[in-house]
């Protein structure tokens, strides 16, 4: 598994990301079923239905050359489809604190990340997930404490029922105003992750077997 230091360096090669694409009407209900172009990778971020933290917005960023690039924001019961170039990736979530998820992502593939609020910190925990044979999306390597806490929040049974959102100009403008503060959030979060164990890093890493060729 690639450790954080390697990923932070590799992120410098990841320039060229794009914001969420507008999907055809036929794919709006379940855009994660639409095939990603071979030179792109698709990530479906899903904010699980959860009473705790429902009033905290989950902001999403791709880290490019050690700089957060705004993707969009989600409330409970919403999903967002993001396309970017393949390769080693770092994504950051931010509610009241930052968190990270990683992956060496292949072109033409679709990946899933479940977001759930942490009641203690107000953070948005990003959980690598995969599509199951029954059509649900399930955390692929859940954090043990979360399994004990509430396993029901580690699976989305009907992703098509989640509201599809697109990033808007207001969100981008807000990020532009707060860019310096968001950079500090990322710097603090990256420093924290440098002290993670291999097992802890695995909990935040999308694996090849998580990919779905849709």
Rg of the chain (C-alpha set): 16
> pLDDT value at position 212?
86
State how beta strands 78-84 and 155-156 pair.
Answer: unpaired
> pLDDT value at position 180?
97
> pLDDT value at position 28?
39
**Least confidently predicted of 7-21, 56-70, 113-127, 158-172:** 7-21
Q: Residue 9 pLDDT more than 90?
A: no
Count Cα neighbours of 175 within 13 Å in the Cβ-side half-sphere. Answer: 19
3-state secondary structure of 208: helix
Every domain of the chain and the residues it spans: 4-210
Residues 173-179 have a mean pLDDT of: 95
Residues 141-151 have a mean pLDDT of: 57
Q: Residue 206 pLDDT more than 50?
A: yes
- The mean pLDDT value of the chain amounts to 81
Q: Which residues contact 191 (CB under 8 A, 6 or more apart)?
A: none
> pLDDT value at position 35?
56
Q: Residue 30 pLDDT more than 70?
A: no
Confidence of residue 53 (pLDDT cuts 50, 70, 90): confident
157-161, Cβ contacts within 8 angstroms, sequence gap of 24 or more: 159/30, 159/32, 159/44, 159/46, 159/79, 159/135, 160/29, 160/30
Q: Residue 27 pLDDT more than 60?
A: no
Residues 163-180 have a mean pLDDT of: 92
- The reported pTM is 0.80
**Least confidently predicted of 28-32, 41-45, 55-59, 134-138:** 28-32
In 3D space, the residue among 100, 104, 102 whose CA is nearest the CA of residue 88 turns out to be 104
């Amino acid at each position: 598994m690639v450790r954080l230091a390697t990923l932070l360096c590799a992120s410098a090669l990841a320039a060229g990301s794009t914001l969420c694409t507008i999907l055809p009407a036929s794919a709006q209900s379940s855009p994660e079923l639409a095939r990603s172009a071979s030179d792109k990778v698709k990530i479906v971020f899903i904010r699980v239905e959860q009473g705790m933290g429902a009033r905290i917005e989950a902001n999403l960023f791709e880290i490019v050359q050690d700089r957060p690039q705004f993707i969009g924001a989600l409330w409970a019961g919403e999903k967002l489809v993001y396309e970017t170039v393949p390769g080693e990736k770092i994504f950051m979530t931010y509610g009241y604190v930052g968190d990270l998820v990683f992956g060496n992502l292949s072109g033409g593939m679709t990946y899933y990340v479940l977001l759930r609020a942490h009641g203690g910190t107000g953070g948005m925990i990003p959980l690598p997930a995969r599509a199951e044979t029954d059509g649900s999306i399930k955390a692929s390597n859940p954090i043990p404490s979360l399994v004990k806490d509430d396993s029901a929040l580690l699976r989305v049974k009907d992703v098509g029922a989640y509201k599809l959102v697109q990033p808007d100009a207001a969100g981008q403008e807000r990020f532009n105003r707060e860019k310096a503060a968001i950079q500090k959030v990322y710097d603090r979060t990256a420093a924290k992750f440098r002290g993670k164990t291999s097992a802890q890093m695995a909990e935040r890493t999308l694996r090849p077997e998580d990919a779905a060729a849709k």
